[in-house]
Amino acid sequence: MPTTRSTESGGLGDIDLLAQKVVDKMLNSDLFCEKLKFVIDTSIKEQLSATIQAYEDKVNNLEEQLKKTRSDMDDALDAHEQYTRINSVRIFGIPEKPNENIADVVVNTIADKLNCPISKADIDICHRLPSNNANHKPIIIKFVRREIKNNIFYNKKKLKGTPIVIREDLTQRRLLILKEAIKRYGSKKVWTSDGKICIKTDNGIKKATTNKQLDLLVNNK
């Protein structure tokens, strides 16, 4: 039995020695080292690529969230600004006269042309706006109550055939949307109501306050 253990022990030692020689030979082999380096480099590159891709996905996701948040904020700010204009209209086509009393001009024009008697007490703010046409600067009027503005805006159809035009006081953003809607649908199918751009489509009357909504209408008309 002792002889057998010695033989087995010696056999294991020979195997270890042989294995060590094989390892040493492999480590001293340029080809093996190159292959090992290639495997390690490939593994590292794959791990780095996966990590970089994960970070890129996170960045893209954050950018999309930021874009949506900014868009929502822009929409909210525009809605708030338009709300502050809810009692206001702009009148175009009234010639400017020297030393005119603009409030009297507005009161008389509305009474004569629209048959809607109002007084100066119904007007909160009233003045002309800068314009390229020095003789026909538009007039902006803010009324003290919304119903006064709505009544005048409703009766503006009586101005048909005259040079005078009454429009809602829109934000710059909504004014651009209105112009784009008219460009796409034509002036006869586009108007405004309470700051919203109304469009007569094949599927009925639709409303838009953003370019995105306008694009959806165009795609689904």
Domain around 124: 86-169
**CA atoms lying within 13 Å on the CB side of residue 70:** 6
Domain count for the chain = 3
Residue 7 lies in a domain: no
Q: Would 9 be classed as within a structural domain?
A: no
For residues 150 and 191, membership in a common domain is answered with no
Higher pLDDT, 6 or 201: 201
Residue 174 belongs to some domain of the structure: yes
Between residues 6 and 160, the one the model is more confident about: 160
pLDDT at 34 over 80: no
Q: Is there a single domain that holds both residue 29 and residue 69?
A: yes
Q: Is the pLDDT of residue 30 over 50?
A: yes
On the question of pLDDT at 28 being above 80, the answer is: no
125 found inside a domain:
yes
Per the model's pLDDT, the better-predicted residue between 183 and 25 turns out to be 183
In a domain, 105, yes or no: yes
Residues in CB range of 58: below 8 A, 6 or more apart: none
Same domain, residue pair 141 and 96: yes
State mean pLDDT over 4-28: 60
pLDDT at 128 over 70: yes
Query: For residue 40, what pLDDT is reported?
Result: 80
Instruction: Say if residue 20's pLDDT is above 80.
Output: no
Assess whether 122 and 157 both reside in one domain.
yes
Q: Is residue 145 part of a domain?
A: yes
pLDDT at 22: 62
User: What tokens were used for 63?
Assistant: 């950018």
Query: Residues 128, 187: one domain?
Result: no
| Cα(92)–Cα(145) distance, integer angstroms | 21
Pick 169 or 217 by higher pLDDT: 169
Among candidate residues 139, 142, 132, 126, the one with its CA nearest the CA of residue 96: 139
Please check whether residue 117 lies inside any domain of the structure.
yes
Q: Which of 145, 169, 193 is the last residue of a domain?
A: 169
| Domain limit, last residue, from 59, 84, 109 | 84
Q: Mean pLDDT over all residues of the chain? A: 86
Give me the pLDDT at residue 1, please: 46
**How many C-beta atoms lie closer than 10 Å to residue 142's C-beta?**
17
pLDDT of res. 55: 86
Residues 98 and 161 in one domain: yes
Is residue 8 in some structural domain? Answer: no
Among 8-12, 22-26, 54-58, which stretch is predicted with the lowest mean pLDDT? 8-12
